[in-house]
Amino acid sequence: MTQPSLDSFPCLLMVTDFETNKLEYINRSASACLGINTDDIQQYSLFDIISKASSIFFESYVRPTIVSTGECQEVQLSLVASSGEKLPAVANIELAQAKIYWSVYTAVARDRLYQELIEVREQLEEETEKLVRLTRIDPLTQLLNRRAALDDLNSLQKRLQRQFVPVSFVVIDIDLFKKLNDTYGHSHGDEVLVKVAAILQNVSRASDIVARWGGEEFLVVLYGSCVEDTRCFCERVHSAINSLNDSIDGDVSVSVGVSALSAEYSVCSEMIDNCMKEADAALYQAKSNGRSRTEYFESV
Ligand SMILES: Nc1nc2c(ncn2[C@@H]2O[C@H](COP(=O)(O)OP(=O)(O)OP(=O)(O)O)[C@@H](O)[C@H]2O)c(=O)[nH]1
């Protein structure tokens, strides 16, 4: 039987000197991978065949480890071939009689797999985001839909239980929208809904809940908004809707009903439901009082 040769091993085998770091032996796999002729190895040091970062890692971690334990397993490093190409690799390293023995596996395929896994995960995250968006966003106005608003109200209630801040509930309803649809067509009505939604989004803050509550009705929950802030908000809404009339057909106005959460008790879901009802009652009052106005529930 012919003598087994280290050249037949399918991994890179190397020996370096512990003191000088000179390359003393490489097998055929290492020679092929690094592009170094076995006859020329004395010209090379360890630091010629691993990257700068790997050299620092070797000095700061691997060397002390092999000095104290005699070995270091599964060391991730970057080999540098004579062509300059960098190859990710994993090495098992042992120290014996002032020589360091290396068995090294290139990890190109593994790194490619990791990369693919990362890409797949990113795609999944993107798809999930799209799905969440589809379930939460009203496709016409791009505002939150009613279900998402209810979810967010639920989270808001928990947040307010931990720390109370003033919150206003503002229900906004486009006046005589049926007439607008009937006069100018449904697609014109849709365009008005989109424009009103954009106005509400523009005059709100990122911490507010801005939702299409139903047909031509919107809900804005103003977070951290005192009565004065809420009044300003409503004025801004009316004035922006007024300006809208310069650019579209028909006379668009909104009626607005407002209620606010009282800070007296710990906020429970019934209190939020109640506030919504109060804002609805105020909206009804605004419609009865001639539309295109804001009414505040009596306690506000
Ligand atoms: N274009 C369009 N119309 C819608 C949409 N959703 C609901 N509507 C219409 O909105 C109209 C609402 O009419 P009403 O509830 O009678 O209210 P209104 O005409 O606004 O009258 P007031 O609220 O009393 O001022 C109905 O004709 C619905 O068909 C939509 O997505 N697009």
Q: How many CB atoms lie within 10 A of CB 138?
A: 19
DSSP three-state, residue 233 = helix
Q: So what's the architecture of 6-110 in CATH?
A: 2-Layer Sandwich (3.30)
178 lines ligand 1 (CB under 6 A): yes
Rg of the chain over Cα atoms, rounded to whole angstroms, equals 35
> What is the Cα 297 distance to its own chain's centre?
39
Residue 171 DSSP class: E
Q: Please, where in the chain does CATH 3.30.70.270 lie?
A: 137-299
What ipTM was predicted for this assembly?
Answer: 0.96
- Give the residue from 99, 8, 104 showing the smallest Cα distance to 50: 104
Does 216 qualify as catalytic in the annotation? yes
- Give the residue from 74, 107, 50 showing the smallest Cα distance to 58: 50
Integer distance in angstroms from the first to the last C-alpha of the chain? 98
Residue 116 DSSP class: H
Ligand 1, atom 29: closest residue by C-alpha? 178
257 lines ligand 1 (CB under 6 A): no
pLDDT in tens, the chain (300 residues): 677 899 999 999 999 999 999 999 999 999 999 999 999 999 999 999 999 999 999 999 999 999 999 999 999 999 999 999 999 999 999 999 999 999 999 988 888 888 899 999 999 999 999 998 899 999 999 999 999 999 999 999 999 988 889 999 999 999 999 999 999 999 999 999 999 999 999 999 999 999 999 999 999 999 999 999 999 999 999 999 999 998 888 899 999 999 998 776 677 888 899 999 999 999 999 999 999 999 999 866
E-assigned strand segments in the chain: 12-17, 23-26, 71-80, 86-96, 99-106, 167-174, 209-214, 217-223, 254-260, 294-296
For domain 137-299, is the CATH number 3.30.70.270?
A: yes
What is the best residue among 171, 177, 192, 195 to mutate for testing ligand 1's pocket, by most ligand atoms within 8 Å of CB? 177
pTM, full prediction: 0.68
Tokens 């990257």 appear where? 51
Give residue 214 CA to ligand 1 midpoint distance, Å. Answer: 9
185 lines ligand 1 (CB under 6 A): no
What is the best residue among 178, 193, 288 to mutate for testing ligand 1's pocket, by most ligand atoms within 8 Å of CB? 178
Q: Please, where in the chain does CATH 3.30.450.20 lie?
A: 6-110
Report the C-alpha gap between 142 and 134 in whole angstroms: 10
